[in-house]
Amino acid sequence: MSNLWGYLKTFLRDLVSFFIIYMPGSTGRRIRYFYYRRRFKKCGKNVLIDEGVVIENPEWMSIGNNTWIGSRCVLKAGPLDLGCRIVKRKEKRNFRWQEGELVLSDNVEIAPSCQIQAHGGIYIGSNCGISSGAKLYSVMNLPTNPYDRRDVIFFSHWNTKSAYMVSPIIFEENVGIGLNSVVLAGVHIGKNSFVAANSVVMGSFGENSFIKGNRAKRIKDRFKIKKEDE
């Protein structure tokens, strides 16, 4: 009988979650705002969360004012317990938050079908835009043991002999990420920069960069810099 009651409670909880996540229209947006604003670590005003958005560990997320999260996005936060797996951590001194925090500043737009995995920490500055299908991974699998390449490791999470890179991602103010681009652990992009569609971004880039390719490179200045005599 106790097992039946446990299954029933789980079913009802899942039913409520389904209702919250998939209710369409303005009613659904209001429900999600009132539901998540008490669960986020911080939540600003005029936060729009469309239908089908999956949010894991909202207590590790800080959401600024005028933020839009488009339909079918997946947002994950909170540090992972990687146990005895091989882990390489790349610290960033200018990441002021804890490992696992997701911070969205004011006026951030995340278009539909994006994946933001912040287990290693992600900061997205004000006035940034993430285009549809883009993926941000602050924890990623490594193809080899970073400490011993002779070591044979496995890619499946179920096998404990696997290797991971853990490092925060930082976007400064007014960064745009193009359609279907992939941004990997440890990336830092300076303000007023843009990543072209279908790019794979690793490493760091200074401000006002136009970034493109696989592996992405700085192609040119995004904006023309005015000279003093102009």
pLDDT tens readout for residues 59-71 = 999 999 999 999 9
Report the amino acid identity of residue 152. V
The encoded tokens of residue 204 equal 């760091």
Average pLDDT over residues 140-168: 85
Model confidence at 153, pLDDT cuts 50, 70, 90, reads confident
Please tell me the predicted confidence (pLDDT) of residue 51: 96
Over residues 70-93, the pLDDT tens digits come to 999 999 999 998 888 888 888 777
The encoded tokens of residue 184 equal 């990997």
Mean pLDDT of the chain: 92
Pick the CATH number of 2-220 from 1.20.140.10, 3.30.1360.180, 3.30.930.10, 2.160.10.10: 2.160.10.10
Distance in angstroms (rounded) separating the CA atoms of residues 230 and 210: 23
Write a three-state SS string for the chain: CHHHHHHHHHHHHHHHHHHHHHCCHHHHHHHHHHHHCCCCCEECCCCEECCCCEEECHHHEEECCCCEECCCCEEECCCCCCCCCEEEECCCCCCCCCCCCEEECCCCEECCCCEEECCCCEEECCCCEECCCCEEECEEECCCCCCCCCCCCCCCCCCCCCEEEECCEEECCCCEECCCCEECCCCEECCCCEECCCCEECCEECCCEEEEECCEEEEEECCCCCCCCC
Segments making up each domain of the chain, as ranges: 2-220
Phi, psi (rounded to 5 degrees) for 50: -80, 175
Residue among 30, 89, 31, 80 at smallest CA distance from 60: 80
Distance in angstroms (rounded) separating the CA atoms of residues 171 and 15: 36
Q: Mean pLDDT lowest for which of 71-80, 142-151, 176-185?
A: 142-151
